[in-house]
Amino acid sequence: MSEVRVYGKIVDDHTRCVHYATELDIIAIRFACCDRYYPCHLCHSETADHPAQQWPREQWDRPAILCGNCWSELTISAYKATDECPECAAQFNPRCAAHSDLYFAGQ
């Protein structure tokens, strides 16, 4: 496992949290506002001392997604272009797209 720290209400070693814990909920997102990984927007809201900020479109080339299976970091662009980790082929939850606007500006 990586030395990357994930904050929030995590329930397992694959970054699943109390809010999202299906087989496919295995990513954490580095929040633009605090440069910390959280499993979801609710974990950030409940444990951070500031409001969340979206990643601006011009920064989607930065590593900001953590695969909870192999702990590889993906750029936002790479994450948004796939439903699985390019390193380990673990499947990601495609429903995360329903909350994408909470994390990424300029959809």
Residue 2 resides in a domain? no
Residue 89 resides in a domain? yes
pLDDT tens per residue across span 70-106 = 999 999 999 999 999 999 999 999 877 888 999 999 8
Q: Give 75's contacts (C-beta < 8 A, 6+ positions apart).
A: 60, 61, 62, 63, 64, 65
Total domains in the fold of the chain: 1
What is the residue range of 38's domain? 27-103
pLDDT band, residue 9 (cuts 50/70/90): very high
pTM: 0.93
Q: Longest C-alpha distance within the chain, in Å?
A: 35
Residue 17 resides in a domain? no
Residue 1 resides in a domain? no
Residue 98 resides in a domain? yes
